[in-house]
């Protein structure tokens, strides 16, 4: 995976805004654009993770993020300690939010619903609603598939909020299979999918 930052700050902010607008279920949008932008910058900078974007007239209209593990991303975020501290101020004032962050960390440490799942993971994908249904997500997903394949991954997992209906249809259509369910945030479930690469090799065109 790319060992250096590929995109610029304006891109991270646009990705953060798209995440907050498109992915309604889940906790991350509550952490604010500043935190999300730093998260996506860290994903982009980290050697074990990747961020692909699609643009239209210079603006981000879709993105996908994937990683071999979250640990190096957290480490990268801590490297930006000043921005991280600033982004975390509104969060530490709300203990409920801290507990949810702990839940996210626990999910990643617990392999997200099963012991033999791949460590590689599709972290998030979103397309601006004005550009959906035109194959943007399919292209982004295929870039990630090819990327993980080049990393010799046997497959990758995806945690999907149970209410994100379009996402479930999309992942199933792309060849991911449901392998279980995990409680992410106090009663809110996520379905865990795996896209196996050895038996499901797909090639971007
Ligand atoms: C899910 C999402 C990324 C799909 O983006 P998209 O660019 O519209 O998807 P594409 O046009 O590339 O569609 C790819 C395939 O998925 C299927 N698909 C996409 N959206 C679908 C929907 N709402 N219902 C049923 N199938 C859908 C399409 O049928 C298509 O298959 P085809 O190529 O055989 O026709 C988009 O709806 C989105 O951003 N949703 C909100 C964010 C989200 O939930 N992200 C997942 C978080 S885990």
- The domain made up of 9-196 is a member of CATH 3.30.390.50: no
pLDDT surpasses 50 at 205: no
When pLDDT is cut at 50, 70 and 90, the band that residue 109 belongs to is: very low
When pLDDT is cut at 50, 70 and 90, the band that residue 90 belongs to is: confident
**Domain range summary for the chain, segments of one domain joined by +:** 9-196
Distance 98 CA to ligand 1 centre (A): 32
Model confidence, pTM? 0.88
**Pocket-testing residue among 129, 164, 170, 184, ligand 1, by greatest number of atoms within 8 A of Cβ:** 170
The model's pLDDT over 34-45, given as tens digits with 9 standing for 90+, comes to 889 999 999 999
- pLDDT mean over 124-150: 97
Distance 130 CA to ligand 1 centre (A): 12
Q: Which residues line ligand 1 (CB under 6 A)?
A: 22-23, 124-127, 132-138, 160, 164, 166-167, 169-170, 173
**Pocket-testing residue among 15, 19, 132, ligand 1, by greatest number of atoms within 8 A of Cβ:** 132
Alpha-carbon torsion angle 29, 189, 52, 81, nearest 10? 50
């Amino acid at each position: 995976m790319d060992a250096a930052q590929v995109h610029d700050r304006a891109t991270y902010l646009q990705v953060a805004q798209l995440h907050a607008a498109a992915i309604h279920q889940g906790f991350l949008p509550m952490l604010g654009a500043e935190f999300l932008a730093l998260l996506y910058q860290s994903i982009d900078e980290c050697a074990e993770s990747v961020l692909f974007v699609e643009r239209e007239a210079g603006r981000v209209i879709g993105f996908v993020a994937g990683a071999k593990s979250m640990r190096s991303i957290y480490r990268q975020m801590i490297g930006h300690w000043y921005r991280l501290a600033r982004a975390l101020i509104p969060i530490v004032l709300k203990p409920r939010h801290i507990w949810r962050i702990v839940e996210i960390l626990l999910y990643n440490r617990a392999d997200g619903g099963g012991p033999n799942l791949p460590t590689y993971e599709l972290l998030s994908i979103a397309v601006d609603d004005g550009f959906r249904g035109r194959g943007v997500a399919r292209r982004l997903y295929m870039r990630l598939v090819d990327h993980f394949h080049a990393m010799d991954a046997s497959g990758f997992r995806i945690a999907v909020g149970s209410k994100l209906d379009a996402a479930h249809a999309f992942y199933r259509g792309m060849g991911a299979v449901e392998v279980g369910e995990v409680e992410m945030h106090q009663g809110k479930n996520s379905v865990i999918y795996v896209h196996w690469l050895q038996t499901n090799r797909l090639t971007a065109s």
